Amino acid sequence: MKIILAAPRGFCAGVNMAIESLDLTLKKFGAPVYVYHEIVHNQYVVDEFREKGAIFVDSIEEVPTDSVLLFSAHGVSPETRAQAIERNLHALDATCPLVTKVHLEAIKYAKLNYTILLIGHEGHDEVIGTMGEAPEAIILVEEEQDIQNLKIEDETKLAYLTQTTLSVDDANRIIKKIKERFPKIESPPKEDICYATQNRQEAVRLLADRADIVLVLGSQNSSNSQRLKQLASDRGITAFLIDGPQDLELSELNDDQTVLITAGASAPESVVQQTIDCLVHKFNATVEVETIREESVHFPLPKPLRAFAAELKDE
């Protein structure tokens, strides 16, 4: 078996920042630390933090008053922040700056009395948070067919935003249809889909045709991981989204195949290596790393944690 190991893959800057934030919060305040929604959409990461004393909740009401609360990388609505203040929670914010950028765009357009078309997936934590910034101004668009049913009162005040973890191809198809119907629609000067999502999709797009099988490391509720699997499947290549080697469909694999391995932006490198080790052991696989693009993005920690992080480094 030959393994093509795609790079870049795995953790993005926003996930690194969120995970480091939770780790530092646990060290600074001790367990339990409550987290609003999963810190990132990865079962391995969530389970590991549960063992350390993190408690993941879907409602602010689940958090006892005066407790420590961390907002996840996906962002939250103003209503959620207000609820945390009402319960006197010590809240720390690990929202990815690229998600914050979309929130600020939504606020800006809403203040200008624009109608905002948000391209994204209903129920996704990021979409819920963004729509919460201006619920009266935002319309969710999930598919191309949604566009025909739109009724916009003032088409001269219309803008679109996107969820950061979408398929670039899918988003571009929807944007094209939106622009055909609303030629004067506005958009932010810089697109919303995050650099890491685009880079991982680009790697699959460029490398998948050389493989018989594509393995995407990531959890089922990870939007960007699902898009990687979808991208390979759309090219007619058998693709699997797995949390780790325990999920391998060994009956689908043999030692004559070329396997492309990548990982979603919330999947840890350790599970990638465990999966590679499993294939090396069972199929005598060799590994070839293919780097499509270098990444050097880094996001700062939330301000309340920066000084503590510096203290730990000095010890």
Instruction: Note the pLDDT of residue 241.
Output: 98
Rounded distance, CA 55 to CA 34, Å?
5
Task: Domains for the chain: give ranges and CATH numbers.
Answer: 2-11+195-291 (3.40.1010.20), 13-95+299-314 (3.40.50.11270), 98-181 (3.40.1010.20)
Characterize 271-303 residue by residue with b for buried, 16 or more Cβ atoms within 10 angstroms of its Cβ, and e for exposed.
bbeebbebbeeebebeeeeeebeebeeebebbe
Cβ-contact 120, 139 below 8 angstroms: no
Instruction: Note the pLDDT of residue 81.
Output: 97
User: What are the tens digits of pLDDT across the range 208-240?
Assistant: 999 999 999 999 999 999 999 999 999 999 999
Whether 117 shows a pLDDT value over 90: the answer reads: yes
User: What are the tens digits of pLDDT across the range 279-309?
Assistant: 999 999 999 999 999 999 999 999 999 999 9
- Looking from the CA of 135 toward its CB, the CA atoms found within 13 Å total 7
User: What are the tens digits of pLDDT across the range 33-56?
Assistant: 999 999 999 999 999 999 999 999
Rounded distance, CA 288 to CA 101, Å?
36
Whether 109 shows a pLDDT value over 90: the answer reads: yes
Percentage of the residues of the chain whose pLDDT score is greater than 70: 100
Whether 189 shows a pLDDT value over 90: the answer reads: no
Whether 315 shows a pLDDT value over 90: the answer reads: no
Instruction: Note the pLDDT of residue 313.
Output: 83
For the CA atoms of 216, 224, 10, 256, the dihedral, rounded to the nearest 10 degrees, stands at: 20
DSSP secondary structure string for all residues of 160-179: EEE-TTS-HHHHHHHHHHHH
Which residues touch 22 (CB under 8 Å, ≥6 apart)? 33, 35, 39, 49, 54, 70, 94
Task: Work out the average pLDDT over 132-152.
Answer: 95
Task: Please state whether 150 falls in left (phi above 0), alpha (psi between -120 and 50) or beta.
Answer: beta
Rounded distance, CA 60 to CA 55, Å?
12
pLDDT band at 200 (very low <50, low <70, confident <90, very high): very high
- Looking from the CA of 237 toward its CB, the CA atoms found within 13 Å total 27
Query: Any idea which residue has 């050097």 for tokens?
Result: 296
β-sheet bridge partners, residue 259 = 3, 213
Among 74-78, 202-206, 311-315, where is mean pLDDT lowest?
311-315
Q: Give helix 195-207 / helix 168-181 axis angle, nearest 10°.
A: 110
Instruction: Note the pLDDT of residue 16.
Output: 97
Among residues 38, 79, 86, 126, the one annotated as catalytic is 126
Percentage of the residues of the chain whose pLDDT score is greater than 90: 94
Active site residue 126: yes
Supply the pTM of this predicted model: 0.91
Average pLDDT across the chain, whole number: 96
